[in-house]
Amino acid sequence: MLSRHALPKVSLNQLYTIAWLNFGSLAIATTLASLFLFHVAIKTNFRTAQNRLHMLCMEMDTAAAEVIATPQVFFHYVMESNQIAVDNIRHELLIAITLMENSILWAIGVYKSSIQCFLGLAINGLLEVITKITTPVQQATETIWQSTDAIETQLKDWLSNSNSSSTGTYSNLTAATVAFGNWTNTLSEIEIKVANWTASNETNLWIDKPFQGLKYQVNSSFINISKTIQPAWNSADIKNVFVCDSTDITAMLQQTEAELLRLTYILMGVLLIAFLVCAILNAMHLRLRHRLLERATPLLFSTSAEEENQRLTYNRQTDNAHYLSRLVTQPFVSRLASINSAAIKKQRSSRWWLIAFLTQPMILYCLGLALCGMTTVGILTESTRQLFQNRLGDFERNMQRWANATLETFLMNTTIQVQSQTDQLNQWISETEIQLNNETLAIARGTASMLNATLTAVVDTVQIMIHDTLDDTILQTPAKSLLQCLFLSKIAPIEEGLTWVVNHSYLNLSRMDAMDIRNWSGSSLEHVMQTSLDGLWEDVQMNLSHHLEAHLRVYCIPFSVWLVCLVIALIFVVSSLWANKQRKKSSTSSNTIHAFTSSISVEMK
C-alpha cells in the first residue's frame, strides 16, 4: 500500500510563483529576444545610412573648400615656381654670358693665332723669296763696287771729274744696298707688329668689360624682379564652407525607421500579452492539476478493505499509476478522458499514445518556439518588404531632387568665389608676363644686342689692325681675304642668331579659366554623389532582410527537432500497429487450429 506521505507536498501558491516558466512562455521569451535584436539592427542600419549621408555631406563640404582654395593653391604654387624659375633663369643667363664671353675670347684667340700663323708664313715666305733673289745681285754689286774702288784709286789723278763720278757710283750702290735692307726691315717690322698684336690682352680686356657690366645688370634686375613678383593675395575664407544639407533625406530615413520600430513595438506588445496568457494558462494548469490530484489521492491511497482488494489487481494498479503520471505531467490530456477503465483502455490506443508523446514539454517547446519565431519573422519580413517597396519611389525622387539641389548650391557658391580669385590670379599672371617681357627678357635682348655690338667692334678692330699693319703692302689684300674667310664668314651666322633672339625674346603665359574648374569639380562631385548614394535604400533593406533570414534559419532548427520527434513517434506507432496486427493474426491462427483439433476430437469420440 502506498503511503500518503510518500509524495512531497508543494502548495499551490508556491507553484504559482513559477507559473510563468513553461514551454510557451520560454518560446515567446526567445522570440522577444530575437525582436530585440531586430530592434537593434534597425537602429544600427539606419544610423549607418544617416552616417553615410553625413559623411557624404562632409566630403562635399571638403570638396567645396578644396575647389574654392584651388586658385589660392595655384597662386602659391605659381609663386614658388616663378621664384625658382627666376633664380634658374638668372643662373642660366650668367652661365650663358660667361660661356659667350669665353667663347668669343677663345674664337678671337684662335683667329688671332691663325692670322699670325698665316701672315708669318706669308712674310717669311716673301722674305725668303726676296732674299734668294737679291742675294746674288747684292754680291755682284759688292764685287763690282770693290773693283770700281780700285780703278777709282788708279784713275784718280787722271780724270779731274773722277772724284764726283766715283762718289755718285758709291752713293748709288749704297742706296741700292739700303733699299734692299729697308725692304727686309719692313717685312720684319710687320711680323713683329702682328706678333705684338696677337700677344696683347687689350682685346680681351676690352671685351671683358661689357660682359662684367652685363652680369651686374642681370643680378640687379633679377633681385628687383624677386622683390616685385609677390603681390598681395586676398584669400577666401575656406574654414566654414557648407553646401550640403541632408535634413530632408535624414528625416525620411528617420520616418521609415520610426515605422519599423513601431511595428517591432507592436509585435513585442503582442508577444508580451501572449507571454502573460501563457503564464495565466500555466497557472490554470497548475490549479487543475492540483485539484485532480486532490480528487485522485483518496482513491489511490484509500485504506478501506473493499477498495484495497480492488487495488490488489495488478492491471488496476498499473492503470492508476499511469493515470497519475499523466495527471502530473499532462493534466489537459488526462482531463479529456475519465478515470473509468474504458477511458484508460482508450488512452492505451495509438492515437492517445501519439498525443501523449508529442505533448512532452521539450517537444512542445521546440514546436512553440519554431511556430512563434517563424511567424514573427515572417510578419517582419513581409512588413519590411512592403514598407521599403512603397517608399522606394518617393525616396529615389527625393534623393534625386536633393542631389540636384545640393550640386547646384555647390556650383553656385564655389563659382562665385573661384571666379573672383581666378580673376585676381589672371591679373597677377598678366602683370608678371609684362614684367618678365619688359625686364627679364629685355636682358636677353640687351645681351644679344650687346654681343652683336661687341662682335662688330671686334671685326672693326681686326680690320683696323690689318689696315694699320699691312697698309700699302703687298700683304694687305691677302690678309683681307684671309679675314673674310676665317672671321667674317663665322661671325655672320652668330650675328644672325643674336638678331633672332632679339626679335623673339617674348613670353606668353597661360591664363586660368574659372569655368574649367567649375566643370571639373561639378563632374567629379556628381560622380562622388552617385557612387555614395547608389543603393543606399536597398542596402538598408538588404541588411535587415539578411538579419531576418538569419533568425529564420535559427528557428528552423527547433522545428527540425520537432519534425524528428514526430518521425520517431510515427515509427513507434507504425511498429506498434504492425506488431498488434501480427499478434492478432497469430491469435486467429491458434484459435482456428484449436477449433479444428476440438472438432477432430469430437468426431473421433
Cα gap 55→326, rounded to integer Å: 64
Cα gap 495→111, rounded to integer Å: 17
Q: What is the pLDDT of residue 3?
A: 45
Q: What is the pLDDT of residue 560?
A: 92
Tens of pLDDT, residue by residue over 375-413, are 999 998 888 888 888 887 787 788 778 877 877 777 777
Cα gap 75→63, rounded to integer Å: 18
Q: Is 424 helix (H, G, I), strand (E, B) or coil?
A: helix
Tens of pLDDT, residue by residue over 184-199, are 566 566 666 666 655 5
Residue 302 grid cell: 484509500
- Residue pair 402/536 in contact by the 8 Å Cβ criterion: no
Q: Which residues of the chain have pLDDT under 70?
A: 1-12, 73, 77-78, 81-82, 85, 100, 103-104, 107-204, 206-207, 210, 214, 221-243, 292-293, 295-350, 435-518, 520-522, 524, 526-528, 530-533, 584-605
Q: What is the pLDDT of residue 462?
A: 64
Cα gap 583→487, rounded to integer Å: 141
Q: What is the pLDDT of residue 591?
A: 61
H-helix segments, 336-360: 341-347, 350-358
Residue pointed to by grid coordinates 707688329:
193
pTM of the model: 0.55
Cα gap 52→40, rounded to integer Å: 18
Read off the amino acid at residue 3.
S
Q: What is the pLDDT of residue 346?
A: 47
